[in-house]
């Protein structure tokens, strides 16, 4: 006798165990079957999964379970991401609580400390994936720092270098002195902030700036070429009174200048502003670095050298006011400020980095989408991809992190005396300087043993090798941008280039992820997949929307509106959470967390249970389906729903499929048909069992636990697990 109500806590763990023991998640290479492959976008191993991860898993599991029931050979590969910068930031916050920082460690020891931290979190994430009922193939589980993944990523870099697509060069980057790393433009956030706007006297001009501390790196002043106020000045030099003595600046005309901003005159500091950097290139201006990598002013700032940016700003303003060089200050100027993932101000600076020339890579990746070889759903997101690819610049793939895949570049000590190195010596002190100077008092072996960071000039001589070329070589300390390593994820997970899995399951069928990383990740996978194999790594891309907080805002710990999915699983069950997130949302659109729907789908799970309780007493009946009009009606409706749900799923219209099935089960089957046959259950036994059986199959991809639990209560064990049953009316 079935219990009165469905209790998800009673069934979820035991059913998960049954699936695991039955080996139904493990894919085989069957030439007689059509492969269907999804690679799970790897959740970050820096902490627990969020609601976006849960939505992603729910959608992908729907596709996998549906295709498994249709008879395809399905492979869903799980994995976790080392998440370079984000993980290192998280770990450093933990270190700070202990009164420590990364500067207490050499590179090797710091990496090993993060490794221990990540392994614990990695296990937590994998436990959450299992808890969600995700039917992933755990025998093929991958981590982005697995040795074979590291080797493959390094080989790709080597191939790119051999093909002439890698270069090093000084480049304007978004650098965070606090985090000690660079960020791509699409990785930084922009916040609105109120800062003073200073109107400074520059010879005959007054110009406005929020950064007076960078004035020591000014190499020109700029005006709009058509501004009648300043046309006569273009090409001339002006005398400027400065804090370290008078100096001259050239006046340039550039269309970037907004005549309506401030006085229509701007100072040009090519080393510390991306727009100034571009102006500097256009007008052949020198770049003078004012802010060092430690976030402090350099020697060019004279007496202000060694001050932090904010201390220097305060002091410079005081001194400018004392000399009468500030005309006025707007204390209420609101502007956009670039910040890193940890919320620190980003310092635009020029730094040697590793770059990929992308022109030859992006052209085929753009064409693959335009010609339909890769289809993007929803279709209106295609334009985002196209515009990004059309305007994409060379890709900076290096990060000044410790946590990540280390770039396999090596510098010979005697050939590169200008390497700037920081290391911990045998006495435990941090020593920084040019390698040639360091080697006067330290052995190279000691420098390498205590190595923290290395910065090589743009013109440094290097070789690419996955093994140490010799004892007199020192390895690059930069790591790969995680989007470069994860850009090869479909290949790495399938054992490219020689594995049998790769030959059978590549290219994969669907890449399912959030729309916000279409540019960051999806585009890179398409480029690198085609570059390495000649084929895109997937045939379709489905982009889900962002799950926002109940108040409609993006979830944020600082806002206190983060929703913990584990709490909802505990209270309402996995099925209710999955169905609540998937149903009732517009395809690919952002939406607020649907608490009410989740409560509603807990009731739906109980409805399935109660339908089964109604049918349970007659489960042994051998009576065949009758030709009663009501029976024929429900069977016809069942077939219509099954075929229509199939069509919706083929078009990635998950919400419509879920709502269609819900409407049929709750209203047509339970409310209408069961009411009509309650007095002739024995006669309608065959139809009841047929409709219940197929209803469970239709619901199973969306709500796997309750459907499997009901199946095992009602249907004979010799029929096997529901997960392995055939999808209704499938061809």
In the predicted structure, residue 545 carries a pLDDT above the cut 80: yes
What Rg do the C-alpha atoms of the chain give, in angstroms?
31
pLDDT on residue 46: 77
Distance separating alpha carbons of residues 572 and 626, to the nearest angstrom? 38
Report if residue 68 sits inside a domain: no
pLDDT on residue 73: 97
Report if residue 3 sits inside a domain: no
Per-residue confidence at 131, pLDDT binned at 50, 70, 90? very high
- Hey, which residues does 464 pair with through a beta bridge? 409
Give, in order, the Cα–Cα distances in Å from 62 to each of 59, 65, 593, 595, 606.
Answer: 5, 5, 20, 21, 20
Q: Is 242 helix (H, G, I), strand (E, B) or coil?
A: coil
**H/E element, 386:** helix 382-391
Task: Indicate if 275 and 333 belong to the same structural domain.
Answer: yes
Do 37 and 495 meet the contact criterion of CB atoms below 8 Å apart? no
DSSP H helical ranges for 651-731: 654-663, 674-677, 685-699, 704-714
Q: Apex CA 637: angle with CA 631 and CA 640, to 5°? A: 145
Domain boundary among 477, 492, 525: 477
Per-residue pLDDT reduced to its tens digit, 504-522: 999 999 999 999 999 999 9
Pick from 240, 182, 587, 644: nearest CA to 397 = 182
Per-residue pLDDT reduced to its tens digit, 592-626: 989 999 999 999 999 999 999 999 888 655 556 66
Higher pLDDT, 548 or 409: 409
Give, in order, the Cα–Cα distances in Å from 701 to each of 252, 436, 527, 710.
Answer: 64, 64, 32, 14
Average pLDDT over residues 224-244: 95
Residue 351 CA, chain-centre distance (Å), reads: 24
Residue 329 CA, chain-centre distance (Å), reads: 41
Domain count, the chain: 4
Distance separating alpha carbons of residues 126 and 138, to the nearest angstrom? 10
**H/E element, 614:** helix 595-615
In the predicted structure, residue 635 carries a pLDDT above the cut 70: yes
Beta pairing, strands 205-209 & 189-202: antiparallel
Range of the domain at 444: 408-477
Task: Indicate if 237 and 138 belong to the same structural domain.
Answer: no
Distance separating alpha carbons of residues 290 and 272, to the nearest angstrom? 8
pLDDT on residue 244: 87
Burial 88-97 (b: 16+ CB within 10 A, else e): bbbbbeebee
- The DSSP output letter for 203 is T
Do 264 and 229 meet the contact criterion of CB atoms below 8 Å apart? yes
Burial of residue 493, with CB atoms counted within 10 A of its CB: 0-12 exposed, 13-18 middle, 19 or more buried: buried
Distance separating alpha carbons of residues 338 and 256, to the nearest angstrom? 19
Task: Indicate if 398 and 417 belong to the same structural domain.
Answer: no
Task: Indicate if 111 and 233 belong to the same structural domain.
Answer: no
Pick from 496, 494, 513: nearest CA to 505 = 494
Report if residue 223 sits inside a domain: yes
Report if residue 563 sits inside a domain: no
- The DSSP output letter for 406 is B
Report if residue 73 sits inside a domain: no
Report if residue 63 sits inside a domain: no
Distance separating alpha carbons of residues 81 and 144, to the nearest angstrom? 5
Beta pairing, strands 430-434 & 420-424: antiparallel
Higher pLDDT, 485 or 121: 485
Do 269 and 290 meet the contact criterion of CB atoms below 8 Å apart? yes
What's the CATH code of the domain at 207? 3.90.740.10
**Which residue's entry shows tokens 């045998």?**
426
Do 36 and 74 meet the contact criterion of CB atoms below 8 Å apart? yes
Residue 205 sits at φ, ψ, to 5 deg, of -110, 160
Q: Which of 178-192, 214-228, 343-357, 706-720 is least confident?
A: 178-192
Domain boundary among 291, 313, 339: 339
| Average predicted confidence (pLDDT) for the chain | 93
Q: Is 515 helix (H, G, I), strand (E, B) or coil?
A: helix
The overall longest dimension of the chain from CA atoms, in Å, is 103
In the predicted structure, residue 557 carries a pLDDT above the cut 70: no
Task: Indicate if 363 and 217 belong to the same structural domain.
Answer: no
Task: Indicate if 286 and 334 belong to the same structural domain.
Answer: yes
Distance separating alpha carbons of residues 698 and 696, to the nearest angstrom? 5
Distance separating alpha carbons of residues 665 and 648, to the nearest angstrom? 17
**H/E element, 645:** helix 629-650
pLDDT on residue 703: 98
Give, in order, the Cα–Cα distances in Å from 431 to each of 435, 475, 503, 533.
Answer: 11, 18, 51, 45
Task: Indicate if 395 and 540 belong to the same structural domain.
Answer: yes
Task: Indicate if 473 and 487 belong to the same structural domain.
Answer: no
DSSP H helical ranges for 98-138: 107-131
Distance separating alpha carbons of residues 599 and 608, to the nearest angstrom? 15
In the predicted structure, residue 729 carries a pLDDT above the cut 90: no
Higher pLDDT, 349 or 539: 539
Total residue length of the chain: 731
Do 327 and 147 meet the contact criterion of CB atoms below 8 Å apart? no
Do 180 and 166 meet the contact criterion of CB atoms below 8 Å apart? no
Task: Indicate if 107 and 248 belong to the same structural domain.
Answer: no
Residue 625 CA, chain-centre distance (Å), reads: 52
List for the chain the helix, strand, coil content (%; round to 5). 45, 20, 35
Task: Indicate if 602 and 650 belong to the same structural domain.
Answer: yes
**Which residue's entry shows tokens 């060694």?**
306
Per-residue pLDDT reduced to its tens digit, 393-420: 899 899 888 999 999 999 999 999 999 8
In the predicted structure, residue 182 carries a pLDDT above the cut 80: no
Residue 9 sits at φ, ψ, to 5 deg, of -65, -25
Distance separating alpha carbons of residues 228 and 695, to the nearest angstrom? 76
Dihedral angle sign, alpha carbons of residues 258, 261, 267, 268 = negative
In the predicted structure, residue 428 carries a pLDDT above the cut 70: yes
In the predicted structure, residue 87 carries a pLDDT above the cut 70: yes
- Hey, which residues does 451 pair with through a beta bridge? 423
Distance separating alpha carbons of residues 711 and 697, to the nearest angstrom? 9
Residue 622 sits at φ, ψ, to 5 deg, of -105, 5
Report if residue 109 sits inside a domain: yes
Average pLDDT over residues 468-478: 95
In the predicted structure, residue 61 carries a pLDDT above the cut 80: yes
Residue 709, Cβ neighbours under 10 Å: how many?
Answer: 26
Do 540 and 511 meet the contact criterion of CB atoms below 8 Å apart? yes
Task: Indicate if 647 and 587 belong to the same structural domain.
Answer: yes
Structure tokens at 644: 């229509």
pLDDT on residue 377: 96
Distance separating alpha carbons of residues 56 and 43, to the nearest angstrom? 10
Task: Indicate if 388 and 521 belong to the same structural domain.
Answer: yes
């Amino acid at each position: 006798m079935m219990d009165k109500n469905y209790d998800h806590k009673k069934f979820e763990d035991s059913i998960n165990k049954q699936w695991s023991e039955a080996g139904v998640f493990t894919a085989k290479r069957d030439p007689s079957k059509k492969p269907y492959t999804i690679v799970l976008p790897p959740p970050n191993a820096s902490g627990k999964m969020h609601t976006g991860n849960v939505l992603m898993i729910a959608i992908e599991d729907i596709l996998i379970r549906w295709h498994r029931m249709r008879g395809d050979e399905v492979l869903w590969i799980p994995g976790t991401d080392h998440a370079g910068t984000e993980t290192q930031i998280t770990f450093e916050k933990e270190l700070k609580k202990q009164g420590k920082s990364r500067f207490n460690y050499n590179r090797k020891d710091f990496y090993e400390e993060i490794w221990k931290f990540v392994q614990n979190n990695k296990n937590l994430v994998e436990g959450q994936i299992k808890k969600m009922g995700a039917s992933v193939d755990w025998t093929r589980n991958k981590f982005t720092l697995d040795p074979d993944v590291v080797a493959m990523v390094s080989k790709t870099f080597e191939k790119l270098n051999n093909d002439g697509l890698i270069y090093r060069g000084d480049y304007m980057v978004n650098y965070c002195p606090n985090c000690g790393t660079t960020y791509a433009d699409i990785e930084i956030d922009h916040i609105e902030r109120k800062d003073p706007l200073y109107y400074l006297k520059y010879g005959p001009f007054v110009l406005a700036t929020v950064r007076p501390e960078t004035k020591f790196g000014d190499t020109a002043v700029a005006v709009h070429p058509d501004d009648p106020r300043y046309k006569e000045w273009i090409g001339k030099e002006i005398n400027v009174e400065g804090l370290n003595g008078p100096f001259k600046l050239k006046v340039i005309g550039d269309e970037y200048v907004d005549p309506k901003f401030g006085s229509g005159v701007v100072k040009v500091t090519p080393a510390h502003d991306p727009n100034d950097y571009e102006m500097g290139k256009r007008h052949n201006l020198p770049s003078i670095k004012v802010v060092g990598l430690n976030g402090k002013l350099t020697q060019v700032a004279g007496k202000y050298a060694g001050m932090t940016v904010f201390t220097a700003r305060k002091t410079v303003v005081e001194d400018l006011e004392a000399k009468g060089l500030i005309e006025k200050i707007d204390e209420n100027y609101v502007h956009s400020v670039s910040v890193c993932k940890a919320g620190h101000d980003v310092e635009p600076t020029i730094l040697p980095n590793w770059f990929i020339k992308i022109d030859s890579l992006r052209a085929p990746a753009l064409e693959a989408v335009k010609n339909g070889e890769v289809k993007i759903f929803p279709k209106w997101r295609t334009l985002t991809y196209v515009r990004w690819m059309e305007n994409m610049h060379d890709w900076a793939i290096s990060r000044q992190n410790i946590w990540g895949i280390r770039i396999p570049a090596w510098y010979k000590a005697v050939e590169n005396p200008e390497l700037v190195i920081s290391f911990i010596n045998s006495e435990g002190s941090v020593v920084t300087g040019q390698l040639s100077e360091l080697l006067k008092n330290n052995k190279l072996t000691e420098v390498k043993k205590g190595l923290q960071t290395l910065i090589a000039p743009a013109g440094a001589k290097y070789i690419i090798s996955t093994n140490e070329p010799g004892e007199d070589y020192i390895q690059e300390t930069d790591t790969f941008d995680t989007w470069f390593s994860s850009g090869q994820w479909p290949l790495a997970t399938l054992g490219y280039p020689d594995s049998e899995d790769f030959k059978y399951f590549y290219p994969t069928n669907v890449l399912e992820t959030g729309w916000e990383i279409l540019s960051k990740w999806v585009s890179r996978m398409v480029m690198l997949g085609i570059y390495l194999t000649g084929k895109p790594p997937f045939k379709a891309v489905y982009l889900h929307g962002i799950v926002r907080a109940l108040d409609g805002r993006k979830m944020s710990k600082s806002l206190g509106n983060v929703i913990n999915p584990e709490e909802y699983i505990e209270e309402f069950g996995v099925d209710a959470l999955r169905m609540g997130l998937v149903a009732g949302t517009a395809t690919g659109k952002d939406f607020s967390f649907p608490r009410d729907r989740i409560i509603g789908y807990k009731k739906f799970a109980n409805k399935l249970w109660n339908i089964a309780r109604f049918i349970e007493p007659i489960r042994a009946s051998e009576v065949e389906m009758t030709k009663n009009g009501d029976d024929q009606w429900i069977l016809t409706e069942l077939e219509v729903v099954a075929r229509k749900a199939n069509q919706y799923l083929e078009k990635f219209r998950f919400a419509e499929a879920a709502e269609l099935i819900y409407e049929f089960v709750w209203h047509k089957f339970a409310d209408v048909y069961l009411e009509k046959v309650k007095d002739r259950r024995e006669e309608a036994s065959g139809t009841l069992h047929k409709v219940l059986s197929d209803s469970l199959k239709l619901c199973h991809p969306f709500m796997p636990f309750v459907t499997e639990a009901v199946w095992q209560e009602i249907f004979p064990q010799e029929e096997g697990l529901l997960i392995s049953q055939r999808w209704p009316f499938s061809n």
